[in-house]
Copies of this chain bind each other. A is one copy, B any other.
């Protein structure tokens, strides 16, 4: 997905640039923070190409709903999975992982998060650039 096509997948607002725990240009807009009826908050996260969050874990878990672009989801000790629009990911509690855009595509997902997040080390360029099929040619 090219930069000029990003607007087609920004269903929910882009929000503000994330300043901590991410590499590159990523944006967050919380779209649901009411205390009822869900046990979770909902944020819209938009990653510019190459941007990604640091390794982290959720004490209750998290659900990702991919609404645009292409990105990676990787759990510690496992191969990275390529995500595209329409994918749904159930992230188990206490599993160290990261997610972010591919090398050449924007990536947009809703993150539905009960509980809290613990942050660890960045996903450095050497790790990121070694991912297979990182060029999606879109």
Q: Which residues of A contact B (CB under 8 A)?
A: 8, 11-13, 31-32, 34, 36-40, 42, 58, 60-63, 65-68, 85-86, 88, 90, 93, 110, 112, 114-115
Contacts and interface: CB of A to CB of B under 8 A. Distances in A.
A38 B37 contact: no
A8 B11 contact: no
B65 A37 contact: no
Nearest to A110: B65
B11 A86 contact: yes
A59 to B, nearest CB: 10
A4 to B, nearest CB: 15
Given A34-B90, A39-B38, A11 B63 contact: no
